[in-house]
Amino acid sequence: MTITSSKNNKASIDLFLLFTAAFIIISAGIGLRDPWPADEPRYALVAKQMVESGQWFFPFRGDELYPDKPPLFMWVEAFFYWLTGSLRFAFLMPSLLAGLFTLGLTYDLGRRLWNHRIGIIAGWTLLATVQFTLQAKTAQIDAMLCLWVTLALYGFCRHLLQGPDWRWYYLGFAAVGLGVITKGVGIIALLVFVPWFFARQQQWRLLTAFPQKTFKWWIGPITMLGVISAWLLPMLILVHISNDPALEAYRDNILFKQTGGRYAHSWGHIKPFWYFFVSVIPVFWLPLSLAFPWLIPAWWHRLQRKDARYLLLLGYALLALLFFSFSAGKRGVYVLPLLPAVALASAALVPGLMKKVSLQKTFWSVLALLSTGLLLFFLYATVVKPDIQTEVLQKYQLNPWGLILAIAVLGISWLFWGWKQRQRRGVIALSGFFLSLWLIYGWYGYPTLNDGRSSRQLMAKVGQRLGPEGQLALVNWKEQTLLMADRKATTFGFTRPPETQLSDALQWVQQPGKRFILLQKPKSTRCIEFSPTDFLGRWHQRDWYLIDQQAISSHCKIQ
């Protein structure tokens, strides 16, 4: 009893430390910044408009429907905005919770497939990996997608490796459905059945034995379709009875253009096939990616032993990686849902790898390179060539030098700690650096970078110019400008050509009232005669102007 009690106490302490650290790291800085481009202002704006308009089912961006993504993530963000009334708090909550739940699922699956220690190692490995924590601290859809994919994998592995457990099998398919109505590619979790089928045919070890035929297998896909239909059917019905061409275009766009059409014929973020292998995983999966030269042979050895745990986890990750690589359009965040599976497949090998001196030296050397590189860059920009500071401030409205110095000092501190240890604990030193880096980034970096990354300063200046009675319209606008406006602003579409928006805005500004248009300098200025007082300043590498009807040229014919 005493030994069992001691083990339980240690397990509780391990879990407490992991999840306390995770909560502090991921939540650090919440409330200290606004949504930042590229994606955060868009989803925050949609969520804010849901609450303010009461129109929750169909997402709007300004006066246009937003068909690029299903609405689940924006519903959750809108819920927290409705609950708290604080956009600065609400917009980061979905990713925070998704990160913590993903971490919990990763730990528990590691515990069940191996043991408590491996589960804890998997959790720390995931938390220390740059991309996971970065996305958990970012208000993009991908952290929530990662949660649903991980939940699906959790359910499938519980069933396929430790079952039969049909309830977890059904829950896995329900999670796939939630992934689909979060972001269409949530269906990638089903790729785990490909290596499972192969392993079953080849009689690999540790697989669950199932009856040859049972109708229960079909309940899973039916459950997935039921979850998807909970959003899809009401949407189709509402569009059908509306007789609204805009809603019909929304339906066609989100069901066809943004799914198969986007995958097969991408129109943005075009990258070569090897992009994830060369440009994303080596950098954004640090420090885990540094261990791949040692992990890959060890994985191969486990696969030769026909260990189905590794085949299912790594087979899913590899197939998903190939799935994303074959599409021309690629973004680094696409591979985030693969990370928990790779962390799990790595965790059981970490205790053995920690004994390898070559691995420890590699991690320590990378930390030395990062730390000294940052310090030298800081000294170069502040001592050798101080003009860089002025250039960065004028071009990006950023003053990041204190942040860079703080990160460099942090890295050097971990560097010396690792050097003083007997076996040169390079793995712990580099991992500790990345974990503690997020505290500086959140508590110091957020307020330091916010003015340069958000439109708060720009829109505050607009508000001062307008006064309490001024009415505002936006032309060729960005989501962060409408989001940060201190009053209701008129827009003339988002995806419409800027020239068309401007034509409508010039008609609007001539109506009675104190009316102003915020815009970037258009390509053709034949209808506008800018005066020096119209110029607001430069933000986000763009020149911004605030004009009224006095700026309209007398030679302009507005149609």
Residue 423: its pLDDT value, please?
58
Q: What is the DSSP letter of 183?
A: S
Mean pLDDT of 431-435: 97
> Residue 262: pLDDT band by 50, 70, 90 thresholds?
low
Q: How far is residue 360's CA from residue 344's CA, in Å, rounded to a whole number?
A: 20
Do the bridges between strand 471-474 and strand 515-520 make them parallel or antiparallel, or are there none, so unpaired?
parallel
Ranges of H-type helices in 28-141: 40-53, 72-84, 87-90, 93-113, 116-128, 130-136
Q: How far is residue 406's CA from residue 402's CA, in Å, rounded to a whole number?
A: 6
Do the bridges between strand 471-474 and strand 489-491 make them parallel or antiparallel, or are there none, so unpaired?
parallel
Q: Are 410 and 437 in contact (CB under 8 A)?
A: yes
Mean pLDDT of 104-123: 97
Residue 164 has pLDDT above 90, yes or no: yes
CB crowding 29-57: b at 16 or more within 10 Å, else e? bbeebbbbeebbbbbbbbbbbbbeeeebe
Taking the CB of residue 268, how many other CB atoms lie within 10 A of it? 9
Q: Which of the two residues, 143 and 417, has the higher pLDDT score?
A: 143
**Tens digits of per-residue pLDDT, 534-558?**
999 888 888 899 999 998 887 776 6
> Residue 115: pLDDT band by 50, 70, 90 thresholds?
very high
Q: What is the DSSP letter of 520?
A: E
> Residue 277: pLDDT band by 50, 70, 90 thresholds?
very high
- Rg value, the chain, Cα: 26
Q: What are the structure tokens assigned to 465, written together? A: 């110019």
Mean pLDDT of 96-123: 98
Residue 139 has pLDDT above 70, yes or no: yes
Q: Which of the two residues, 234 and 555, has the higher pLDDT score?
A: 234
Mean pLDDT of 369-395: 92
Helical (H) or strand (E) element with 326: helix 308-326
Is the preceding peptide bond at 287 cis, omega within 30 degrees of 0?
Answer: yes
Residue 264: its pLDDT value, please?
65
Q: Are 195 and 316 in contact (CB under 8 A)?
A: yes
Query: Backbone phi, then psi, for 356, in 5-degree steps?
Result: -85, 115
> Residue 109: pLDDT band by 50, 70, 90 thresholds?
very high
Q: What are the structure tokens assigned to 37, written together? A: 């481009």
Residue 90 has pLDDT above 60, yes or no: yes
The C-alpha angle 113, 115, 121, rounded to 5 degrees, equals: 100
Residue 553: its pLDDT value, please?
83
**Tens digits of per-residue pLDDT, 208-231?**
988 777 899 999 999 999 999 999
- Residue with the two structure tokens 């800027």: 498
Percentage helix, strand, coil for the chain under 3-state DSSP, each rounded to 5: 70, 5, 25
- Best CA proximity match to 485, nearest among 460, 515, 505, 464: 460
Average pLDDT value over all residues in the chain: 93
Residue 261 has pLDDT above 70, yes or no: no
What percent of the chain is predicted at pLDDT more than 90?
82
Q: What are the structure tokens assigned to 438, written together? A: 């997020």
Q: Are 446 and 397 in contact (CB under 8 A)?
A: no
Taking the CB of residue 308, how many other CB atoms lie within 10 A of it? 26
Q: What are the structure tokens assigned to 538, written together? A: 């430069």
Reported for 548-551, long-range contacts at CB under 8 A and 24+ positions apart, including other chains, are: 548/509, 548/514, 548/515, 548/516, 548/517, 549/509, 549/510, 549/515
- Residue 136 to residues 91, 263, 490, Cα–Cα distance (Å): 12, 25, 33
**Tens digits of per-residue pLDDT, 290-315?**
999 999 999 999 999 999 999 999 99
Residue 339: its pLDDT value, please?
98
Q: Which of the two residues, 343 and 522, has the higher pLDDT score?
A: 343
Residue 507: its pLDDT value, please?
93
Residue 493: its pLDDT value, please?
94
Q: What are the structure tokens assigned to 291, written together? A: 């261990």
Q: Are 360 and 423 in contact (CB under 8 A)?
A: yes
Residue 168 has pLDDT above 60, yes or no: yes
Residue 267: its pLDDT value, please?
63
**Tens digits of per-residue pLDDT, 495-508?**
999 999 999 999 99
Q: How far is residue 45's CA from residue 418's CA, in Å, rounded to a whole number?
A: 45
What percent of the chain is predicted at pLDDT more than 70?
96
